[in-house]
Amino acid sequence: MWEFKSSDDFEVSEEGTIKHQLFGTAPLARGPRLLVYSTIHPSGTEPTLQLRVIDHSSYPSYDSWLEDERPSAKTFPKDYQDPDYEPFKNGGSSDLRLDCTQADFRAAAATFHNEFFGEHPDNVLYVSLVKCLLAKILDERSTKKGERYRFQIFYRNGKPETATEVYKRVNDLYSTAYHRYIDPNSSTSDEIDAREFSAERVKTVVRVLQGMSITRGAALHGDVIGAFFEQILRIGFKQDKGMYFTHDNLVSFMLQAVDLGGLTTTAWEAATHPENRLPYVIDPACGSGTFLLRAMRIISETVKLQEDKLVTNLEAESFFRAKMSDPMPNTWAESFLYGFDPKFVMAITAKVNMVLHGDGSAHILKNDAFAPLSSYSDARLRPVGDDSLRSIPRSRYSPDMCESFDLVISNPPFGITLSTETRNMLKRTFSLDTSAPSEAFFIERCFQLLRPGGRLALVIPESLLNTAEAVDVRLLLYRTLWIKTIVSLPRNLFIDTPTLTSLLFAQKKSPEEIEHWDNAWDSVQSQIDEKIKRAKTYLAGVENTDTTPTDVQSRVLDILHPVVGQDSWFLKRGRNAEVRKLQLPSNVESVKGAVEYYRKTLSLAGFNSLLRHYAFAQLTTKFDYSFPVFVVGEVGYKLSKRKERSRPNELCRFLGISSEQEYPNLHLADEQVRLVIDVNHPERVLDYIRKTVTWD
């Protein structure tokens, strides 16, 4: 008894059709021995027949078939014998499907939604499902030609193996994959916890995915398989505090604002070796890998669109054919894209996400962005040893730097509590005071990662740009980077956090430019130090002279002019916090009191911040630090816990490729879109940035 469905409806209608049209009507046909659910794929020169052959004599009811996890054969048995449950083999007649459609993966995601999540995301179940995916990835990558894949359900005498047998094999695959892909240096293994994700659930995942290729298929259908995983991510992952996904609107805008396409062209044309053919990109807080995935697409598209212009010699052609060919267009990414996240759930999510979008997963690492560079195992993250190769010599900046990356782009978590181990290492890892917020250390880490001339694009809390507590990180920014532009964003862009945020775009200075800044700073600082020394010398000898408190005030202010003036004030912190002025308080009536007041004043941290402000003000007259700032009210979307809505988009313009309709919110577009930039008639922020901002 056969039931045919159209190719488009085959996967979507499978469960209901088998239950009602086949099992439900089989008694009316006097119990046929075989039930066949089928379709014909109208593609290529020969039509492809796809079957699910069910042994009705062994499974007379739908429920009995379900209990054995839906066993079916893929070919119709010769002479109507028992169905042949041929296992999937690499390169065999029954290999994994490379032609799975969007409907196939949508049906798989729907199954996972119904079986595991219902209406509520669950991170425990989500992580277990992703572990199963990683096991399948290892199986597809490591199974030799002619061998059977291990991520499948085997049959003995027409009966499927038990859930426990399937679980054990998949769990072994995952444990191996964990050491290979997630934490190579770990002395312990990880597993799929059967108490959290039962053997029956593992068998369900295997049943749904066993015939599909998700690694070789990703090279051909990266967008389709990537969308499948993004759907799983949205339905299964619950965002906790400190884990906020960056909206695709912001991701696309930031990568275009930093001109990754132009950076790609420049790197390709200047390349002298395959290792510097493309830009090195890192996200030190990669989360689910959104920035890296979008960067991968931009780099591949940039080269492919300019193939005639860029692939002009044998070396370039060899790289292009080996690393960017149509069957494997993103092979290059395994060498040039880096990302790490300390949370296991994020590291494994990013790893799988990269594979399912076409790869680039090799350097997705479970690392802490604030750890010493010497603790990282990857060669590109190792500290520069030779002082002559550093942009700043150790005598001027003692922490390690690796200076290997052309672009650092990230949305780091704000205000997180660092582990005790990490906090104990801060003093030797960073130059900033250990009391600084985590986002300040993150900016310094970005500086350590960037090569001279490298580009930076960061989401940062606005407090880093305007609070007294963050003055040191701002000085580090001005010393080491050229700020290209800042975009101030509206509130409530991330669920559960009202923090005001901005987008910072900057370029790392050359060693000569940093040295120029340091020399200018030293020159001003030496003038300040000389004035402080003179003031202290005066105070040491004035106490027993014939003078008055007013004379002491006048002389001290005269010595310190123009660094500070009599109207200058600062905040004295501590238990007895107060606003302190340079003028003597009215209750100081003796020379001894005046001397003591100014001695204490010269040693206070608040007074030293005044000196720092003066030094910085002097340097702004020596360097051109002007840059455009944009204040944005709408970014194309508005989030709530219930749903996501579309809003006007002042950042950039997205147009549908087919309809030319504008889609302010990428997540709500129902067709492929392109980002449009118009520098001749600028209207959106990105238009103005690309018109006015230049990158060296």
Residue 163 has pLDDT above 50, yes or no: yes
**Is 382 a member of any domain?**
yes
Q: What is the pLDDT of residues 403-414, one digit of tens each?
A: 999 999 999 988
Q: What is the pLDDT of residues 419-463, one digit of tens each?
A: 888 888 999 999 999 989 899 999 999 999 999 999 999 999 999
Residue 213, domain extent: 102-226
Amino acid identity at 176: T
Minimal CA–CA distance to 650: which of 495, 505, 488? 488
* Structure tokens that stand for 258 in this block: 């930093």
Please compute the mean of the pLDDT values over residues 266-275 and round it to a whole number: 94
Using only C-alpha atoms, the chain has a radius of gyration, in whole angstroms, of 32
Please compute the mean of the pLDDT values over residues 115-127 and round it to a whole number: 84
**Is 93 a member of any domain?**
no
558 and 673 part of one domain: no
196 and 176 part of one domain: yes
Helix crossing, 216-236 with 344-356: angle to 10°?
A: 140
263, 279 contact by CB (below 8 A): yes
pLDDT band (50, 70, 90) for residue 567: confident
Residue 525 has pLDDT above 90, yes or no: yes
Lowest mean pLDDT among 157-171, 228-242, 591-605: 228-242
Q: What is the pLDDT of residues 495-520, one digit of tens each?
A: 656 788 999 999 999 999 999 999 99
**Is 160 a member of any domain?**
yes
Lowest mean pLDDT among 106-115, 125-134, 571-580: 571-580
**Is 318 a member of any domain?**
yes
More confident: 498 or 578: 578
**Is 234 a member of any domain?**
no
Residue 103: count of CB within 10 angstroms of its CB: 16
Minimal CA–CA distance to 369: which of 428, 334, 418? 418
* Structure tokens that stand for 694 in this block: 């230049």
Where a domain ends, among 480, 509, 538?
509
477 and 535 part of one domain: no
Across 301-339, b (16+ Cβ under 10 Å) vs e yields ebbeeeeeebbeeeebeebbeebbeeebbbbbbebbbbb
More confident: 185 or 629: 629
pLDDT band (50, 70, 90) for residue 242: very low
502, 462 contact by CB (below 8 A): yes
How many domains are contained in the chain? 5
Residue 573 has pLDDT above 90, yes or no: no
219 and 328 part of one domain: no
Instruction: Find how far residue 141's CA is from the centre of its chain.
Output: 24
CA distance 469 to 571: 12
356 and 497 part of one domain: yes
Please compute the mean of the pLDDT values over residues 102-122 and round it to a whole number: 83
**Is 96 a member of any domain?**
no
More confident: 500 or 577: 500
Q: What is the pLDDT of residues 590-609, one digit of tens each?
A: 999 999 999 999 998 888 98
304 and 435 part of one domain: yes
Where a domain ends, among 475, 509, 543?
509
Q: Which whole-number Å values give the CA distances from 545 to 156, 271, 428, in the listed order?
A: 107, 72, 47
220 and 155 part of one domain: yes
614 and 650 part of one domain: no
331 and 191 part of one domain: no
Tokens 């000898």, residue located? 541
186 and 251 part of one domain: no
Mean pLDDT, the chain, rounded, equals 89
Minimal CA–CA distance to 693: which of 627, 635, 625? 627
CATH label of the domain that carries residue 348: 3.40.50.150
405 and 327 part of one domain: yes
612 and 672 part of one domain: no
* Structure tokens that stand for 545 in this block: 């002279």
CA distance 262 to 174: 40
**Is 176 a member of any domain?**
yes
Q: What is the pLDDT of residues 193-228, one digit of tens each?
A: 999 999 999 999 999 999 888 887 666 666 677 778
604, burial (CB in 10 Å: exposed 0-12, middle 13-18, buried 19+): middle
Where a domain ends, among 459, 483, 509?
509
For residue 627, the model assigns a pLDDT of: 94
For residue 240, the model assigns a pLDDT of: 58
**Is 97 a member of any domain?**
no
Q: Find the length of the chain.
A: 696
Beta bridge partners, 644, equal 639
